[in-house]
Structure 1
Amino acid sequence: MRASTPTDAAKRIVPDVEVERAGIVQAATRARAALESRIASERRHLAMLRDRPVLTDPHATLAPHRTVLEQHRDRAERAVRARLDRGRHQVEALQGQLRALSPQGTLDRGYAIVMHADGRIVSDRQDVDPQEVLRVRVARGDFGVRPVTRKARS
């Protein structure tokens, strides 16, 4: 750029204060308007969000899910109870079978187990020596006995 005088050169290099002030004022005005517009937009957006049902009553959104969950829980509890009842009945039936098949159950009904002194069970009369002391086990304990021989009938 050329200038005819130093004053002219200085005017061309240094900007006019009034023009610069007007530019700054104009930029500040535009920035303020943009900021106010953004704030108004965000306020509208917040108001729209606040009016959504999920924010007015957050529990309303969960209510249908809670009902389904309660139904599933109730169904599971009933299934577990039913399975436990079936298991309890099965255990009771097995206990009954065990009592019926156990030697103690037989003894409780009045039977006895006769054993030799060494613990072998007497299963044949011919295996018993008349002088031997036998052990007899009953429901509530045991005791010793001597066999009695009978005379043959004629």
Structure 2
Amino acid sequence: MARRRKPLSPQTWLFGLVSTLAIIYISYQARVAVIQNFGEQQIARTQEAMQRIQQQQLERQRQAQQPVLHQAYAPQQRSMSAQEIQLERERVAQQKEAMRQRAEQERQKNEAWERFYAPTQACEAPESQARVDICTARETRLRKEFEQRWAAGKFSQPSGA
């Protein structure tokens, strides 16, 4: 004959409910902390990459200006004529303008990419490595499509994304 369980007392039942809710809350907080940590790491990596890019750009600018400064202002075997100095200044101005135009084009391209690509909600806070892989593949596919459209001068919103 099966033995019947004695019904739980209200205190025992309430303790079990509170314990269950506490465990659920703690696990929720742990997940939020993991996701937040992942986001902070992504932000830190992005900022480091941006700083490296800025340092590289500054270094390129310094290298581009260094020979010009050396040629234009360093003592030389012979003195430069006024016409040569003017030509050198024009060349430096053209280089600066070309660099400014490249920077502006890069800024426009980055803005266009931001308008073109919007990560899905699932990709903003991926829950698994499989989701990260899917999101990375999607971003790569859209980046290729964007680059092709940008190169062709036919930039518009993504198709079938």
For normalisation by structure 1, the TM-score amounts to 0.37
Structure holding more helix per residue: 2
Structure holding more strand per residue: 1
For normalisation by structure 2, the TM-score amounts to 0.36
